[in-house]
Structures are given as C-alpha cells and as structure tokens.
Amino acid sequence: MSDFNFHVKPIGLFDMLHFKKMVPDRKQALENGSLDPVSGVYDANRLADLLHPKTQTLTIAEIIDHGELAKTFVLTGDSLAPFRAGQYLSVRLKIGASVLTRPYSISSSPMWVKEGKYALTIKRAADGFASGWILDNWKVGDEITVSGPEGNFYYEPLRDAKHVIGLAGGCGITPFLSMAYAIRDGAEDFRLTLLYGSRTECDILYRRELAEIEKATDKVKIVHILSDEQKDGYEYGFITAERIAKACGGEECSVFLCGPSAMYAFVDKEVEKLKLAAKFVRHELYAAPAAPGTLPGYEGDPGKTYTLTVKRFGETLGVPMAANETVLVALERAGIAAPSRCRGGECGWCRSRMESGDVFVPEKLDKRRMADVAAGYIHPCCSYPLSDVTIEIWPEQE
C-alpha cells in the first residue's frame, strides 16, 4: 500500500468565532435591506437574455449562390447572441398553412457577431419541404425569425482531445467551416484535420474558402475524398477507419461527425473500429427520418392514419396524423406552432406530456430522461404514432 502524506488543519478559535457570527451577520444584513419593490431587470437576467434569447429577428443582407443546390444567406441584426463554432440556429417558417422550424448550422466565424452578422448555408434536400422553399423564396431584405444559438456540437477543451478529426459529408461541412474560421481568427484553440467527403469535385462546398483557411493557419488541414470520380489532388473512395487513423497520426484525437444519414450509417461503423472512448466521438444532430419503416425495432404500419388530439391553452384540437410522420410534423402540418429546436430528440424543447396512446421512438434518437419516460413525456420531433395519441403542449408565442 502506498503512503500518503496529508495535513488536516485543526479548527482554531478564529474559525469557531467566524461561524458563530455568520448567522447574526446575515440577520443584520436582511434587516438593513430595502423593502421597496424591485424595479427593472436583474443584471444576471439581462445578461442571460442577451446570451440566450428565445428569438432573434434578422434581415437577409446578402445571398451567395453555390450552384443550383445551395445558397449562403448572410443575416444581420442588432445585439446578436454570441455562439460557439458548431452551433445552429432554429429558423421559424410559415409555408402555406404549415408553421414549422428547421435547424441550420451557422457557417460563419464566431467573430462575425461583433459585426452583427451570422451566415447560414442551406442545401436543397431531394425530398425536403423547407430547404427548397427557402432557396426559392428568401430574398435580400426579408426579415426572418430564428432562435438563439443552440446545440452541443462544438469543441470543449475539458472533454475533447487537442486534435479534432472532422468527418463531413455534403452540407455537413457548415459547422466545420465555422470551426476552421474560429481557429484562424483565434476564437478557438485546437487542431482540426477535416476529412470532407463529396461525390464529385463540383459538389464540394466552400472549396476555395477552405483552401484559404488552410493557407492562413497550420492548425487546419483539409483532405477531400471523392466517392464518384478519381481526380488528381483528391483521394478516392469513402471515409474509412484507416483514413481516420491516418489523420490521427498515432495521437489522441476526438472525432466529430456531421453529414447525411447515409453517411452516418456507414461512418459510424468505421469509427467503432477505432475503439475510441465515448467522450471522444461527437455527432451533430440526427434528424428523425421521413420513413420509420426501415428503423430497427419499428413494428407499426406506415400506411395507417391516426388522430392526434392536442390540448393547449384550455382548448382541444383534433388533427389527422400519418403513421409515417412524427407527431411534430403532424402538428406543424396542421398549422399549430408547436415548440421545437433540434428536431432530433436532443434538446428537449418540444417535450410534451402524452395523456394516451402509443408511439415508437428510435433508440438512437431517444434522449429523454428516465423520469420523463416513466411519467409519459415524449419528444414529438422523434416520436412516430402507433395508435391515436392525445398530448398536451405548451406552444411558443405564435
């Protein structure tokens, strides 16, 4: 057994007198305090509202085209909330009768906030409802409503290794672009090696900007991997365990992943081969898939239609709900402004009490607390109906 040397300080007379006087001193401070009603806002609350606003109203100042499938929207506003590189904004939309939100990663440097600017890069999804509408309808001068910066997909020195391996696919480049800018601008201090998978050279987003960042700092390295064409200057194939290990260079690394669901399905298995500690593997949000039929454990009938009964503000509404959509989508389609942020089960913003019914929650998306599960709470953004459902919600201001 090892010997430990330690010293316990004895309680002296001064310490005993200090504790003896503590209660009388506090009573005297309360007696001397003012009984006048508090006016205004506490400084702590004012700071919290500035750093974590529920909503922000922004103006589209500039639109940058990236071909036919993607655009960057430069957004301006007053007293914008600061953010960590890798976080997202939840955009509130009204499309026809539907009221909905969509989370989009901030693609600009955190230093832009000092100039009153964010940037969101949005790519048209093949079957996307919101992305296509945004690309076709947003124009310079429009005002939009967004949340404060949200999400946990950012570098944390107390948890992460000093060297981060970023695994990006398609539009999943956006949070990594913000991280690269943050490193270049001195807002973050870590090394980033980015393995960026694209189908072809033409599909690479921000190729020029990434190259410029790589030249500006030796802490950022970019490796482009093309899956559908072989070309000089690019690696060919997919993001594999061997490529990730090579990027680590034999040192301790954190691995961050962001991309489409098909990429996660493949790359997650490759990352598992590296046997990294769980804290060193970080995922950007998984979005609930449009079709639950292919999810492990799903035993429902995707072709059925159920009734969703919604209780809010003392009124009760009944809306149709397809089995192959989430409860949140049914709410939004009916024009009900339900609370939501991440749409991937993580943030809990949409947390609602289910009074009756049965739902399927994919294991990968179920981030509820055990107490919430026992008490019958669900996250509508990742809950698929297996029967008629009755829920109580507390909507955001419409």
DSSP symbols for 261-328: HHHHHHHHHHHHTT---GGGEEEPPPPPPS-GGGSTT--S-TT-EEEEEEEETTEEEEEEEETTS-HH
pLDDT of residue 9: 57
Work out the percent of the chain whose per-residue pLDDT is above 70: 95
Question: What is the CATH code for 163-283?
Answer: 3.40.50.80
- Residue 397 — pLDDT band, cuts 50, 70, 90? very low
The tokens for 99 are 């009221």
Model confidence at 234: pLDDT above 50: yes
**Contacts with 221 (C-beta within 8 Å, 6 or more apart), sequence order:** 191, 192, 193, 194, 214
Report d(CA 223, CA 176) in Å as an integer.
Answer: 13
Asked if the model's pLDDT at residue 11 lies above 60, the reply is: no
Is 375 in a helix, a strand, or coil?
helix
Q: Where along the chain do its domains lie?
A: 53-146, 163-283, 293-392
- Give tens-digit pLDDT for 141-162: 999 999 999 999 999 999 999 9
pLDDT one-digit tens code per residue, 311-366: 988 889 999 999 999 999 999 999 988 889 999 889 999 999 999 999 999 988 99
Fold for domain 53-146?
Answer: Elongation Factor Tu (Ef-tu); domain 3 (2.40.30)
What would the CATH number be for the domain defined by 293-392? Answer: 3.10.20.30
Q: Is the pLDDT score of 284 beyond 50?
A: yes
pTM for this predicted structure: 0.85
C-alpha distances (whole Å) from 89 to each of 21, 119, 201 are 51, 10, 28
pLDDT digits (tens, 9 = 90+) for 53-81: 989 999 999 999 998 789 999 999 999 99
Determine contact, residues 153/175, Cβ cutoff 8 Å: yes
* Segment holding 44, helix H or strand E: helix 43-51
